[in-house]
Amino acid sequence: MNTIDFYMVDAFSQTTFGGNAAAVCPLVEWLPDETLLSMAQQHNQSETAYFVRTDSGFDLRWFTTQGEIDLCGHATLAAAHVIFEYLDYPETTVRFSTRFVGELSVTRAGDWLTLDFPAWKTEPCDVPPLLLDCLGITRYHAVSAGRDYMVVLENEQQVRDLTPDIHRLKPLDKMVCVTAPGDSVDFVSRFFCPGEAVAEDPVTGSTHSMLIPYWGERLGKTTLLAHQVSARGGVLRCQWQGDRVLIGGQATTYLIGKIFLR
């Protein structure tokens, strides 16, 4: 019987039941992909992060309940939290090797962890009528696309008031980020995942890879404060460094346990 340590962490939150929950499983060696997927489905969280220690740091992968994904911010933050808090890791920076986006790192300073992620550009695009219809909007400042659609509204209240028909967005074959200038922060956002088990993601590190360059350029700033205004929500300290972005947040352990594989 194989036993695996299991952690559930609320990422981008300093309190339990805030931010975005992720499961984290340190592994001695990689298990078959079908086992990793079955475990993620059993955990039933938006993401499960798996990592294996290497000579230079850690190999890191992320699975949803539907399969492996290319990048996940909150689960990376959760994995680093586990390494710093529970694995007697002596350094202040954790370095991860990933399959799809290369090298990532997370640095600890007090209670804050900072992700070093790639910066993603978006380009103006033709606006699919289905996108606006499902979001329930007729007015917008801009719409662009990269990995995800980014819909820019005029103000924070419009973002908070959205009640989209999320799953009807599935034919667009992209996730959707809606953003606007913030009332007390530089910008706010919400993130919708049509067709996924979690229809609205509470706090999304990876979408800030495109939000930070957009708002940095629009506001003429390299240091920004962001708030994802979902029901759980979270605050992110952001920096734009050209082709990289730094995304800072806190994390709180919710659960520690054991997985028994027979």
Percentage of residues of the chain with pLDDT beyond 90: 98
Residue range 94-122: mean pLDDT, rounded? 97
Residue range 86-95: mean pLDDT, rounded? 97
Residue range 160-187: mean pLDDT, rounded? 97
Look up the pTM and report it.
0.96
Predicted local confidence at residue 83, as pLDDT: 98
Tell me the helices (H) and strands (E) count for the chain, helix number first: 5, 18
Predicted local confidence at residue 143, as pLDDT: 98
Residue 244, pLDDT > 90, answer: yes
First to last CA, the chain: 5
> pLDDT tens, 28-45?
999 999 999 999 999 999
Mean pLDDT rounded to a whole number for the chain: 97
Predicted local confidence at residue 181, as pLDDT: 98
Dig out the tokens for 113 from the structure: 């962890």
> pLDDT tens, 188-198?
999 999 988 88
Dig out the tokens for 229 from the structure: 């205004």
> How far apart are the C-alpha atoms of 261 and 177, rounded to whole Å?
38
- The band of 120, judged by pLDDT with boundaries at 50, 70 and 90, is very high
DSSP secondary structure code for residue 216 in this structure: H
Predicted local confidence at residue 87, as pLDDT: 97
So which residues are the catalytic ones? 47
Residue 145, pLDDT > 90, answer: yes
Predicted local confidence at residue 107, as pLDDT: 98
As to burial, measured by CB atoms within 10 angstroms (0-12 exposed, 13-18 middle, 19+ buried), residue 3 is: exposed
- The band of 216, judged by pLDDT with boundaries at 50, 70 and 90, is very high
Predicted local confidence at residue 66, as pLDDT: 94
Burial readout 150-177 (b: 16 or more C-beta within 10 A, e: otherwise): bbbbeebebbeebebebeebeebebbbb
Residue 1, pLDDT > 90, answer: no
> pLDDT tens, 222-239?
999 999 999 999 999 999
Nearest to 164 by CA among 192, 124, 201, 123: 192
Predicted local confidence at residue 196, as pLDDT: 86
